[in-house]
Amino acid sequence: MAQFQAISVIDGDTFDVSPQWKWNGQTGSRVRPTGYDAPELQAYGGQAAKEKLTRLILGKNVDLGAAYRIDRGRLVCDVYLGGNNLADYFPQYQ
């Protein structure tokens, strides 16, 4: 696993990291964690999911584990915070 700092939160299941990740010849900063699917910002619960993710990771180090694909410029991968899978913090969206 590689460690990155979460530098911005886009919504409840998308965020940016620094430095940029590299995977299969591509690079980027946007990450989409596996294991949960939070509501979109305009949907019920979307803003609350973003606020929760912001409290959890913004400015902190996260570990990016196994990567599966790139979707709309986002690296879809397992994400860990303090050794725990990020999806475990969002059981309502699993």
Q: Helix/strand/coil (H, E, C) string of 54-69?
A: HHHHCCCEEEEEEEEE
The answer to whether the predicted template modeling score (pTM) of the entire model surpasses 0.85 is yes
Is 1 a residue whose pLDDT tops 90?
Answer: no
Going by pLDDT thresholds of 50, 70 and 90, the confidence category of residue 22 is very high
In this structure, are residues 20 and 5 in contact, taking their beta carbons and an 8 Å threshold?
no
Percent of the chain at pLDDT exceeding 70:
100
Question: Which CATH number is 2-88 given?
Answer: 2.40.50.90
Q: Is 32 exposed, middle or buried (0-12, 13-18, 19+ CB in 10 A)?
A: buried
Question: What's the pLDDT tens digit per position in 49-70?
Answer: 999 999 999 999 999 999 999 9
Q: One-letter amino acid identity for 52? A: K
SS3 state at 90: coil
What's the whole-number average pLDDT of the chain? 97
